[in-house]
A and B are shown apart, each in its own frame.
Chain A
Amino acid sequence: MRFFLGIKLGGLQQKIFNLMLIFIIALIGVYVTVSVALQNDLSKIVQNTSEKQQESIAAVSERTMKTAVTASMTKTTALQAYIADDLFSDVRTDVLTLRSFANELFVHADAFTAHAYYPPDKANDGVPSVQMQHEAGVDPSESEALGLVANMSEIMLSMFENSRQLSSCFVATPDGCILFADDRAGAYIAEDGSVYDFEVRSRPWYKQAAEAGELIFTGVESDAFTDIAGIVCAAPVYKDGQLAAVVGADIFLSAISDYVKTTANYGGFVCVINENGQVLFSPNTEGTFKPELSAVAPDLRKSENAALGQFITESLNGATDVQTITVDGAEYYLTGSPMPTVGWAVVSAIDKSVTDQPTAQMLKSYGDINKNALTSYQNGAKRATRIVIIATVLILLLAITGALFVASRIVRPIEYMTKRINALSGNDSVFEMEKIYKTNDEIEVLAESFAALSGKTREYIGQITEITAEKERIGTELALATRIQADMLPNIYPAFPERTEFDVYASMDPAKEVGGDFYDFFLIDDDHLCMIMADVSGKGVPAALFMMASKIILSNNAMTGKSPAEILTDTNAAICSNNREQMFVTVWLGILEISTGKLTAANAGHEYPVIMQAGGKFGLLKDKHGFVIGGMEGVKYKEYEVQLQPGSKLFLYTDGVPEATNAENEFFGTERMLDALNESVNAPPEEMLRNMRRAVDDFVKEAEQFDDLTMLGLEYKGGAQ
């Protein structure tokens, strides 16, 4: 048997080990599968939930943001538009006041004298003052209206001083002169001290006002001297249907411009669009909402960005809702509100990415948190997996060790038992219950059974030994009994060396042990030879004892001189008187009267005697039979006489001779017996018996001899010679 890891391959130990291993591996498999599946599910759930939450947050946040932005922007824009428009409304009122004043002057021209006017004086720079300028080639002194309108000097100065928005007030005459009220006289004087020409009638405000015949606002224009962007509000003054003057006010839009610039914070800004869809003010220095001079500024209403064009158009006509429009590649919340006075619009813009920034920020933070959570979860999961793997390996190792332990624990008693049983070879060894078998299971039962069996076996061996010893003893005693029995029979030959009248020879060969056959011959007196051939029923010691008794009773009776019939009758009576075992003996008893050769005999159930008369052949003497001795009480035996001649022979035997059996289960029979005798009729008794013995042996060959072989031969040689 091969071994692996100390386990007998194919043994019970390995089977138990395998079973446990399979069970454990299956268990671990289920455990790992469930763990991995759960972990995957959990990962998915975490990820899905995170995504959903992010989407949800984004949606809610954007919606909230938009609502907030909308509310705030719409209101703010409207307010801004209102405030801005208010500025222009004030200026308008101022210009209308100037016009009204000019009208009065022209209507009541006769009532006014010419007012003094002065060219710009550098000393007046920074101080509110009124100065006159004129077109090149125009002589102010020839102007008819200049002196008249110069009467407006105080009112213009007052107006300028009282309004922060106005950079100047002026009144121009159609002959190319103009009076300014402002605080920048220096700006009109060149370095050489000469005064700059002022092309009055070429100015847009002049042309537009003359053309329109009513109050106008110009577009954003560079100031003729300061180059500061500004707007001019101008109104024509008529006398008798003829243009008499143009009054106006110059607004530096620095206030609006500054304000607009401050709005450029946090991705949002405010810009002002004029009636032509052009950007007037904007903090932007580039892109679509960059402010440019009217001459070059594009009309946003006709922008290639249709949504923007639509929005600008709507904004100029009325307040718009907040719209999300992509401008210059960025998304903006846009809302517009009109400025009714000038027909412009204020547009508020907020970069959507900025408003979205908190959402994005939040989402990012949330995402980061989620990502961190997921990462730490995944790390945890990885760690858990690692722990599971390590735990699995540990459990497996533990299980293998455990299985080995359990298997060997289960198997060790069996192996030990096998060893012990194999060692049980000698008679002394006995299988005993030991501590190792106390397993409280089948092994213990098995061991107990073995122990019991061993105990019994030992007991049996003891008994058998005893019996064998007893048998041995009995055998020895039987052998001794056989010797005694044989010694009891006459066995010294020649038996009667001094007697020449007869020759007698007898032999007994017990079949196995002491038998029940016996013969006897003895002289009752000098003239009477008693011969007995007997066969006790059964074998062994009982038969031997019975034979002894029979022999003694028979010879005792014979010695008293009784006749054969009397001897048998009395012997039967004696034996029957105490024969509970129903034993019996067949007896042929004959008494030869030596002197005469007269043989008197009686037969108690014994074989026929064989007699050869002198010169004749051996033949059965079918004598008169009585019942066996010991069989029944009160049997009377009869005797008969046979006259022997000298040379006559007598052959007595027990049933062992004719009933000797060969391998073919055939009896030797009386025929073969007689044949054997007749083969050598002259043989003396001893040779006669030897011949018979040989004949029987030849017949029986290897077959076992069942019965005793007891024979007696007598040769009668004649009376006393």
Chain B
Amino acid sequence: MLNIEKNKDNDALVVSLEGRLDTTTAPKFEDELKNSLDGITALTIDIKKLEYISSAGLRVFLSAQKRMNAQGEMKVTHVSEAIMDIFEVTGFSDILTIE
């Protein structure tokens, strides 16, 4: 299960994730992002309440990062230790802006 909460302030968007981002829920997150990123120059993904991220979830993060590279900047906030481990293992910690 994944809850996605979006807060838009002009061209800044904060997306908060809660739950599990895995093969089942990743497509939903991908769709949400795809439809929300037009004109956004500052994307913040808050994963404070994200319990788990699978490779399918990482793929969405990668897509988002690539798109934001073209139109602005993206950062990931409130990264838990467990997820930081995954980011590090997969090398995502190198390409994501983690705060």
Q: Which residue numbers of A lie inside 8 Å of B, CB to CB?
A: 516, 535-539, 582-584, 586, 604-608, 625-628, 631-632, 655, 659, 665, 667, 706-707
B90: nearest chain-A partner, CB-CB: A605
**Cβ of B58 and Cβ of A537 under 8 Å apart?**
yes
The distance in angstroms between the C-alpha atoms of A607 and B91, with both chains bound, is 11
**Cβ of A627 and Cβ of B92 under 8 Å apart?**
yes
**Cβ of A707 and Cβ of B92 under 8 Å apart?**
no
**Cβ of A628 and Cβ of B23 under 8 Å apart?**
no
B63 CB–A CB distance under 8 Å: yes
B43 CB–A CB distance under 8 Å: no
What residues on B are CB-neighbors of A536 within 8 Å? 55
Q: Which residue numbers of B lie inside 8 Å of A, CB to CB?
A: 22-23, 26, 51-52, 54-56, 58-59, 62-63, 66, 88-92, 94-95
Going nearest first, the 6 A-B pairs with the smallest beta carbon separation are: A627-B91, A605-B90, A537-B55, A537-B59, A605-B91, A582-B63
**Cβ of A606 and Cβ of B89 under 8 Å apart?**
yes
The distance in angstroms between the C-alpha atoms of A586 and B87, with both chains bound, is 12
The distance in angstroms between the C-alpha atoms of A608 and B89, with both chains bound, is 7
A670: nearest chain-B partner, CB-CB: B85
What residues on B are CB-neighbors of A626 within 8 Å? 91
Knowing A605-B90, A625-B91, say if A583 contacts B59 (CB, 8 Å). yes
**Cβ of B55 and Cβ of A535 under 8 Å apart?**
yes
Knowing A539-B23, A582-B62, say if A516 contacts B89 (CB, 8 Å). no
**Cβ of A631 and Cβ of B26 under 8 Å apart?**
no
* A137–chain B nearest beta-carbon distance, Å: 179
The distance in angstroms between the C-alpha atoms of A627 and B88, with both chains bound, is 9
A512: nearest chain-B partner, CB-CB: B23
- Contact for B92 among A539, A605, A608, CB less than 8 A: A605
**What would be 24 A-B contacts, judged by CB atoms less than 8 Å apart?**
A516-B55, A538-B26, A582-B63, A583-B59, A586-B55, A604-B91, A605-B91, A608-B89, A625-B88, A625-B89, A625-B90, A627-B90, A627-B91, A627-B94, A628-B62, A628-B91, A631-B62, A631-B92, A632-B95, A659-B52, A659-B54, A665-B51, A667-B52, A706-B23
The distance in angstroms between the C-alpha atoms of A631 and B69, with both chains bound, is 13
What residues on B are CB-neighbors of A632 within 8 Å? 62, 66, 95
What residues on A are CB-neighbors of B51 within 8 Å? 665
* A342–chain B nearest beta-carbon distance, Å: 152
* A537–chain B nearest beta-carbon distance, Å: 4
* B25–chain A nearest beta-carbon distance, Å: 11
The distance in angstroms between the C-alpha atoms of A625 and B85, with both chains bound, is 12
The distance in angstroms between the C-alpha atoms of A492 and B58, with both chains bound, is 33
- Contact for B66 among A537, A582, A667, CB less than 8 A: A582
Given contacts A627-B90, A706-B54, 9 further A-B contacts (CB under 8 A): A538-B26, A538-B55, A605-B89, A605-B90, A605-B92, A625-B90, A628-B91, A631-B92, A632-B62
* B22–chain A nearest beta-carbon distance, Å: 7
The distance in angstroms between the C-alpha atoms of A604 and B62, with both chains bound, is 15
What residues on A are CB-neighbors of B95 within 8 Å? 627, 631-632
The distance in angstroms between the C-alpha atoms of A626 and B92, with both chains bound, is 9
The distance in angstroms between the C-alpha atoms of A516 and B58, with both chains bound, is 14
The distance in angstroms between the C-alpha atoms of A581 and B71, with both chains bound, is 19
* B71–chain A nearest beta-carbon distance, Å: 16
The distance in angstroms between the C-alpha atoms of A334 and B24, with both chains bound, is 137
The distance in angstroms between the C-alpha atoms of A447 and B23, with both chains bound, is 45
What residues on B are CB-neighbors of A608 within 8 Å? 89
Most buried by A among B54, B63, B66, B95: B54
Knowing A538-B26, A627-B95, A706-B22, say if A584 contacts B59 (CB, 8 Å). yes
The distance in angstroms between the C-alpha atoms of A539 and B88, with both chains bound, is 22
What residues on A are CB-neighbors of B58 within 8 Å? 537, 584, 628
What residues on B are CB-neighbors of A625 within 8 Å? 88-91
**Cβ of A538 and Cβ of B90 under 8 Å apart?**
no
A637: nearest chain-B partner, CB-CB: B91
The distance in angstroms between the C-alpha atoms of A325 and B44, with both chains bound, is 138
The distance in angstroms between the C-alpha atoms of A559 and B71, with both chains bound, is 41
The distance in angstroms between the C-alpha atoms of A626 and B90, with both chains bound, is 7
B82: nearest chain-A partner, CB-CB: A667
The distance in angstroms between the C-alpha atoms of A586 and B91, with both chains bound, is 9
What residues on A are CB-neighbors of B94 within 8 Å? 627
**Cβ of B92 and Cβ of A655 under 8 Å apart?**
no
What residues on A are CB-neighbors of B52 within 8 Å? 659, 667
The distance in angstroms between the C-alpha atoms of A608 and B85, with both chains bound, is 11
The distance in angstroms between the C-alpha atoms of A606 and B56, with both chains bound, is 14
**Cβ of B91 and Cβ of A538 under 8 Å apart?**
no
A582: nearest chain-B partner, CB-CB: B63
* B92–chain A nearest beta-carbon distance, Å: 7
* A108–chain B nearest beta-carbon distance, Å: 183
A631: nearest chain-B partner, CB-CB: B62
**Cβ of B90 and Cβ of A628 under 8 Å apart?**
yes
What residues on A are CB-neighbors of B91 within 8 Å? 604-605, 625-628, 631
* B15–chain A nearest beta-carbon distance, Å: 18
* B50–chain A nearest beta-carbon distance, Å: 14
The distance in angstroms between the C-alpha atoms of A293 and B51, with both chains bound, is 161
* B28–chain A nearest beta-carbon distance, Å: 14
* B56–chain A nearest beta-carbon distance, Å: 5
